[in-house]
Structure 1
């Protein structure tokens, strides 16, 4: 194994979440496949849900999808995404955008902050060296 990236699971709003993260992190959805494109029989009414996706913003990289009937996810606090930047202005901008309609867990000071965004995803924003 030489790669570990977070995989986020959503309850039907994966695409909306990815678009939100694009705007917050100046990133890009690099791949997006719907359930209709999945290599298995598609449950009726689920065709537009996300089967698999990938997101990249600089060195931030994760995969995401929607849950499926029988495998529903419970939004919780079992993970966080850690992102860092040497640039204080960038940290502040990202923190503020992620905080919109979310909950600040730990206010951003000079080097660290935590926020749960409007999709109940926890983020840690920290100062890192360039």
Structure 2
């Protein structure tokens, strides 16, 4: 048995699984798309959107899809991805890239437990980035 985080994107609200996956796998050194299945003609949902995909970033496997319907909910900061960055430089690089068109919940700083930052990316996914002191 294994738990795999599943990210549901909503194209109707401007959030795209394909765009998010591409950004994430390019941003992280170990990033890779394992597979993607797109909707075709006649499928429920918009043609070309992600029906199901799987990718790896920061040593973690994720699954994702583009929802064929618009939900009243989206991602929440209550659930976030914690990343132990190997260095402050890497933390800053990731934070800066993820913050583009996103939202900083806690700007990079030392909050009494070492270098830390919390950011929501432009797709709505929340990231907590820690680095060694």
TM-score for both structures, normalised by structure 2: 0.78
RMSD: 2.2
- The yes-or-no answer on 1:34 pairing with 2:35 is no
Q: What is the TM-score with the length of structure 1 in the denominator? A: 0.80
- Residue 36 of structure 1 aligns to a residue in which SS? coil
SS state at 1:8 partner: strand
Q: Summarize deviations over 1:24-55 as a string: whole Å, max 9, x none.
A: 22312121111239xxx712x62211011111
Structure 1: distance between partners of 2:122 and 2:58: 23
- In structure 2, the CA distance between the partners of 1:18 and 1:73, relative to structure 1 (3 Å rule), is farther
Residue in 2 aligned with 1:54?
54
Show structure 1 runs of 5+ residues with no match: none
The runs of 4+ residues in structure 1 deviating greater than 4 Å are none
Match of 2:23 in 1: 20
Unaligned runs of 5+ in 2: none
How far apart in 2 are the matches of 1:4 and 1:62? Answer: 10
**SS across alignment from 1:92:** helix
Q: Quick one: structure 1 residues 52 and 94, their matched pair in 2 at CA, closer, same or farther if it must change by over 3 Å? A: same
In the comparison of the two structures, how many residue pairs are matched?
122
Distance in 2 of aligned mates of 1:75 and 1:104: 17
Write the distance in 2 (CA, Å) between the matches of 1:49 and 1:119.
15
Equivalent pair of 1:60/1:83 in contact (CA under 8 Å): no
How far apart, CA to CA, are the structure 2 residues paired with 1:97 and 1:62?
20
1:117 maps to which residue?
121
Superposed CA offset, 1:59-90 (max 9, x none): 13211101123x63622315211111232211
What's the counterpart of residue 10 of structure 1? Answer: 9
